[in-house]
């Protein structure tokens, strides 16, 4: 069946910039490299900095 | 109502009547009938247009998408709420991995008490306004576990709130270390592996050549028995060990099934890319090889649990972040882990209590991707972020830039396979 399918919902454009936690969800929370809620690598639970040296594990897989 | 146009950040792959579109700014992933995709942005269906605007596939022609990403990027840089400090209590190591980026920078001995106290005072002062996160790094940090313990205890005595993690080769996680871990406020311990058994030992052995894999696994076993600290296994993958990640996954699943199921053990891969001046052993993966690896994993059901996923937003690494510091055992302060142990690349010393604002500013804005016409017009900029600032500096002025993300050339070709493995329903 060939019809439009949203496979992954995009992050909403409207965020409350006065709510730090909401913006931090986009910007990676309180870590330097973890892209919380955004990035996943292979096993969907670990995120890593682009050079791969540091990883963080408690980033939730983006909810769809 | 303003006119809608297609986002510049759409990555598109069409095969016959099906078209896959991934937006690298919003992370939305949509499969269209090709006929419908081809009709965009000129469409009468207002509901469809509204939905595609929400997903970022279409944008209002009056907005600047690059500015939105730039806003995210710089908000991250100037976030003053958190101080991330990587501390190397020693630069020495008990391994001699041939590919170690610290190379000859591992001569510094253990941290002196003076440096230790300076760091503690610095963290106490910073904790008044910032959340403190410490990463214990090295050399091999557990060679100086007494320093880690001493600094942690001093912070605890001063009621400083902080969280920490350790990046270690895992060989020194012995009984006497494990029993003292509770005072370190650890969120996780990161252990680097290169595969299972001999494959790991080929590179990651003790200085005297003795194999380390069995020791590390025994230490992991003890750690699991005595603590509930999360263990993150970071597995190096290069051309000499393409299956190392998969092998470690199945080995750990067999040996520590409960810990893997409960996520006390998590496994990630560190794909060793062919970065500038990095490929000393000719084992790094080129962009094409990385694509072939990803494609093979996406096509093979055995990789279902750990095949590559859609790439997320790329935000600046510590090189550009004023509030992310790395301190070596002599107190020199850096903005890149690759610089540690090389004082000529430091931005100051903890004993001086000051850093160079000139150096800071020049690092923050070094080869800024937002000043680069090619980056500004690239559809994968939000998932690349201009990549490694060091590589950008090294390759300045060159026509063919090796730092460009491999997604630029290959992400579109991966999309149908990502769809097949994650979303396609069996008919």
Nearest CA to CA, how far is B172 from chain A (Å)?
Answer: 19
Half-sphere exposure of B267 (CA within 13 A, CB side): 24
User: What is d(CA B144, CA B111) in angstroms, rounded to the nearest whole number?
Assistant: 8
Would the pLDDT of A45 be above 70? Answer: no
Write down the pLDDT at residue A1. 57
| Residue at token pair 């000859």 | B104
User: What is d(CA B32, CA B241) in angstroms, rounded to the nearest whole number?
Assistant: 38
In angstroms, how far is CA B288 from the centroid of its own chain? 21
Whether chain B has a CB inside 8 Å of the CB on A10: the answer is yes
Please, where are the H alpha helices in B139-256?
145-157, 175-178, 198-203, 213-226, 244-255
pLDDT band at B119 (very low <50, low <70, confident <90, very high): very high
CB-based contact B268 A42, cutoff 8 Å: yes
CB-based contact A46 B72, cutoff 8 Å: no
Write down the pLDDT at residue A21. 58
Over the stretch A50-59, which tens digit does the pLDDT of each residue have? 455 555 444 3
Q: Quick one: closest CA in B to A2, which residue?
A: B33
Nearest CA to CA, how far is A40 from chain B (Å)?
Answer: 6
Write down the pLDDT at residue B420. 86
Select from B192, B311, B299, B173 the least CA-distant residue to B245. B192
Please name the residues in contact with B225: beta carbons below 8 A apart, sequence gap of 6 or more.
none
* Euclidean distance between the first and the last CA atom of chain A, given in angstroms as a whole number: 22
CB-based contact B267 A23, cutoff 8 Å: no
Burial of B318 by CB count in 10 Å (0-12 exposed, 13-18 middle, 19+ buried)?
buried
CB-based contact B270 A40, cutoff 8 Å: no
Please tell me whether the overall predicted TM-score, pTM, comes out greater than 0.90 for this model: no
The secondary element (H helix, E strand) that includes residue B114 is helix B113-126
Q: Are B287 and B300 in contact (CB under 8 A)?
A: no
Select from A39, A24, A58, A59 the least CA-distant residue to B384. A39
Write down the pLDDT at residue B23. 95
Would the pLDDT of B293 be above 70? Answer: yes
Over the stretch B156-194, which tens digit does the pLDDT of each residue have? 999 999 999 999 999 999 999 999 999 999 988 999 999
Q: What is the mean pLDDT of residues B234-261?
A: 90
Would the pLDDT of B30 be above 90? Answer: yes
pLDDT band at B315 (very low <50, low <70, confident <90, very high): confident
* % chain B with pLDDT above 70: 94
∠ Cα B100 B391 B246 (to 5°): 50
Would the pLDDT of B273 be above 80? Answer: no
User: What is d(CA B322, CA B303) in angstroms, rounded to the nearest whole number?
Assistant: 39
Select from B32, B252, B270 the residue whose CB has the most chain A CBs within 10 Å, as the one to mutate to test that interface: B270
Over the stretch B66-117, which tens digit does the pLDDT of each residue have? 999 998 888 888 888 888 899 999 999 999 888 777 666 667 778 999 999 9
CB-based contact B33 A42, cutoff 8 Å: no
């Amino acid at each position: 069946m060939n019809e439009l399918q949203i496979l992954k919902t995009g992050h909403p454009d409207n965020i409350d910039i006065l709510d730090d936690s909401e913006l931090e969800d986009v910007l990676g929370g309180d870590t330097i490299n973890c892209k919380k809620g955004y990035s996943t690598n292979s096993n969907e639970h670990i995120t890593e900095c682009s050079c791969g040296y540091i990883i963080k594990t408690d980033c939730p897989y983006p909810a769809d | 109502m303003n006119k809608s146009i297609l986002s510049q950040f759409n990555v598109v792959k069409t095969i016959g009547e099906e078209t896959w579109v991934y937006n690298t700014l919003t992370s939305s992933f949509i499969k269209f009938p090709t006929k419908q995709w081809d009709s965009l942005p000129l469409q009468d269906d207002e509901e469809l247009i509204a939905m595609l605007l929400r997903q970022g596939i279409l944008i209002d022609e009056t907005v600047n998408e690059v500015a939105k990403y730039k806003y995210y990027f710089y908000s991250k840089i100037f976030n003053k709420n958190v101080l991330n400090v990587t501390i190397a209590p020693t630069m020495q190591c008990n391994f001699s991995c041939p590919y170690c980026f610290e190379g000859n920078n591992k001569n510094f001995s253990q941290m002196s008490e003076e440096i230790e106290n300076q760091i503690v005072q610095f963290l106490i002062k910073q904790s008044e306004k910032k959340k403190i996160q410490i990463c214990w790094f090295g050399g091999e940090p557990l060679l100086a576990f007494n320093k880690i313990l001493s600094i942690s205890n001093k912070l605890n005595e001063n009621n400083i709130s902080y969280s920490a993690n350790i990046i270690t080769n895992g060989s020194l996680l012995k009984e006497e270390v494990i029993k003292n871990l509770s005072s370190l406020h650890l969120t996780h311990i990161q252990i680097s592996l290169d595969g299972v058994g001999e494959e790991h030992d080929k590179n990651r052995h003790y200085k005297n050549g003795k194999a380390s894999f069995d020791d590390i696994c025994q230490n992991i076993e003890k750690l699991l028995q005595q603590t509930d600290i999360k263990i993150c296994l970071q597995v190096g993958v290069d051309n000499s060990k393409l299956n190392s990640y998969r092998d470690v996954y199945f080995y750990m699943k067999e040996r520590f099934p409960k810990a893997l199921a409960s996520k006390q053990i998590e496994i990630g891969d560190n794909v060793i890319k062919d970065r500038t001046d990095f490929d000393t052993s000719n084992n790094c993966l080129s962009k094409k090889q990385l694509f072939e690896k990803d494609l093979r994993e996406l096509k093979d059901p055995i990789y279902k649990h750990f095949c590559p996923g859609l790439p997320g937003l790329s935000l600046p690494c510590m090189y550009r972040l004023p509030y992310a510091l790395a301190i070596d055992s002599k107190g020199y302060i850096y903005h890149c882990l690759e610089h540690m142990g090389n004082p000529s690349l430091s931005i100051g010393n903890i004993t001086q209590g000051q850093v160079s604002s000139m150096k800071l500013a020049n690092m923050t804005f070094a080869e800024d991707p937002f000043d680069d016409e090619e980056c500004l017009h690239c559809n994968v900029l939000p998932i690349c972020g201009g990549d490694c600032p060091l590589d950008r500096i090294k390759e300045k002025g060159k026509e063919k830039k090796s730092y460009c993300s491999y997604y630029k050339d290959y992400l579109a070709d991966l999309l149908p396979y990502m769809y097949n493995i994650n979303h396609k329903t069996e008919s």
